[in-house]
Chain A
């Protein structure tokens, strides 16, 4: 595949001007994602009320793919229910790992710009990290790692 189809304008734009960037003052869920292979770190805070994501923010140092993925993720899940967010997390992981047939109905919308990542195995984790971390935050885990089978790394009641 041609890499420029990955570094599309949408992705470059979200990298340049990340949405929902920062830390929520009144977060009740929080997780830190870490990709030990490249040192990327991502901090996600959530305000979850009655299983609805009322607010979300992220911050951290990462590559363009990871930052754009995080930024687009926050816009996609804001206002959604926990269940809808989990569906998106599942679909995004399937998309990034090439298991999703994007011609079949899905909820990803513009997030399908990341479909090209499946041809770059070393970068798949960059795109998935924010989603791992969101999953951890929703499930009251405090940390997620791209090197764990699932993001279930350390369980604690940190919410």
Chain B
């Protein structure tokens, strides 16, 4: 059995009834072609518990109006609930102030905000931006666009054969031209948990700000942005049992204030004449137009749901599921696990000898098993491991051991068909 991750080592809480928690998720009752749904695509999007669905219904049936705009009752309620959601997010990541939490449409939007708001203002020709091989395309492409526009350069931190960042190489990339670091906290394709605290501290010793893509970390690891001292942290609600269409960008207040707005429009201004516009204060400066109010409130409810269970309990439960799944899959002949970092979240990317991942996905689907197949928006990782694509099973706290067993049986079926 793989050693249990040190960072996820807290005991599985005996007081939590995981079966009861699972029952909170109505979609898990679905049958696919008569077979029970086995949902192992949580890294792409996780499912929503009834509590969050109910919260959305309550908002939509009793609280909905536009925010920040009118004095009538509903507008005030909606404005307050939207603000409460922001405060829940603030608490979730332990931000100093609620104005450091900006609602965006998701991680991709958050990263683009930093690229436009910070990058376009402060990064110049000849400057260097450090990214890693593990980045999701959403933390590569915006920086490439900026580099192209400014004549800046992108430097990439390599990974080893286990899928871990080579931190020595990271440190060697720094020089007087280094102006920004974009770093994924947890790899969506491999599950690798990166030593971001150390990497942030190192960057800060060179006076370089760091953006953390936390899309895959926030659902599984307790985030404390003050302890991490990161400059920016981004994630999406839909990977945290919340709705699609919303996410956050955390940014240190001083940085957000120094940045230029990303989008122009209503709500992000203090006053407008055709000669001059004075921008609103943060966070409003970065929330142009009507935000996803309902989704943000649902996001707040999802955060409340997860904090009630406790991210540390979720991490411990998932860690034991990962250990079990890793043990089962590594014993299967012809199955190769890609990404064997010592520190991992509950993600297993794998290949089966002689079978293309898309065929694996289609055949598993026939048993009701949902996995992701493809390059996982992380083509540099696929190139590093010299595979066109992988299949990925990603687990959540509502998955159970018998679902791992079903995956094993499904893989055997694939192997039988392609014998």
A residues in contact (CB < 8 Å) with B:
2-4, 6-7, 12, 15, 37-40, 61-65, 120, 123, 126
What are 28 contact pairs spanning A and B, CB under 8 A? A2-B33, A3-B363, A3-B365, A4-B366, A4-B417, A6-B362, A7-B363, A12-B417, A12-B418, A15-B418, A38-B358, A38-B373, A38-B374, A39-B374, A39-B375, A39-B379, A39-B382, A39-B389, A63-B356, A63-B357, A63-B358, A63-B359, A64-B355, A64-B356, A64-B359, A120-B362, A123-B362, A126-B358
Tell me, rounded to whole Å, the shortest Cβ–Cβ distance linking B89 to chain A: 33
* B358 and A7 contact, CB distance less than 8 A: no
Could you tell me the distance between the alpha carbons of A64 and B359 in the complex, rounded to whole angstroms? Answer: 7
* B356 and A7 contact, CB distance less than 8 A: no
* A62 and B356 contact, CB distance less than 8 A: yes
* B359 and A65 contact, CB distance less than 8 A: yes
Tell me, rounded to whole Å, the shortest Cβ–Cβ distance linking B122 to chain A: 33
Q: Mark B350-377, 1 if CB is under 8 A from A, else 0.
A: 0000011111001101100000011100
Q: Mark B406-419, 1 if CB is under 8 A from A, else 0.
A: 00000000000110
Could you tell me the distance between the alpha carbons of A3 and B382 in the complex, rounded to whole angstroms? Answer: 27
* B417 and A7 contact, CB distance less than 8 A: yes
Could you tell me the distance between the alpha carbons of A118 and B357 in the complex, rounded to whole angstroms? Answer: 19
* A38 and B389 contact, CB distance less than 8 A: yes
* A3 and B362 contact, CB distance less than 8 A: yes
For A1, give the chain B residue with the smallest CB separation.
B33
Residues of B within 8 A of A123 (CB): 358, 362
Could you tell me the distance between the alpha carbons of A37 and B388 in the complex, rounded to whole angstroms? Answer: 11
Could you tell me the distance between the alpha carbons of A4 and B357 in the complex, rounded to whole angstroms? Answer: 16
Could you tell me the distance between the alpha carbons of A65 and B389 in the complex, rounded to whole angstroms? Answer: 16
Residues of A within 8 A of B375 (CB): 38-39
Residue from B356, B357, B379 whose CB has the most chain A CB atoms within 10 Å: B356
Residue from B33, B362, B389 whose CB has the most chain A CB atoms within 10 Å: B362
Residues of A within 8 A of B418 (CB): 12, 15, 64
Q: Mark B31-58, 1 if CB is under 8 A from A, else 0.
A: 0010000000000000000000000000
For B374, give the chain A residue with the smallest CB separation.
A38
Tell me, rounded to whole Å, the shortest Cβ–Cβ distance linking A89 to chain B: 22
Could you tell me the distance between the alpha carbons of A86 and B209 in the complex, rounded to whole angstroms? Answer: 58
Report, nearest first, the 8 A-B pairs whose CB atoms are least far apart.
A63-B356, A3-B366, A63-B358, A39-B388, A64-B359, A63-B359, A7-B417, A38-B374
Could you tell me the distance between the alpha carbons of A61 and B389 in the complex, rounded to whole angstroms? Answer: 11
For B358, give the chain A residue with the smallest CB separation.
A63
Could you tell me the distance between the alpha carbons of A12 and B357 in the complex, rounded to whole angstroms? Answer: 15
Residues of B within 8 A of A120 (CB): 362
Q: Mark B110-152, 1 if CB is under 8 A from A, else 0.
A: 0000000000000000000000000000000000000000000
Could you tell me the distance between the alpha carbons of A148 and B357 in the complex, rounded to whole angstroms? Answer: 23
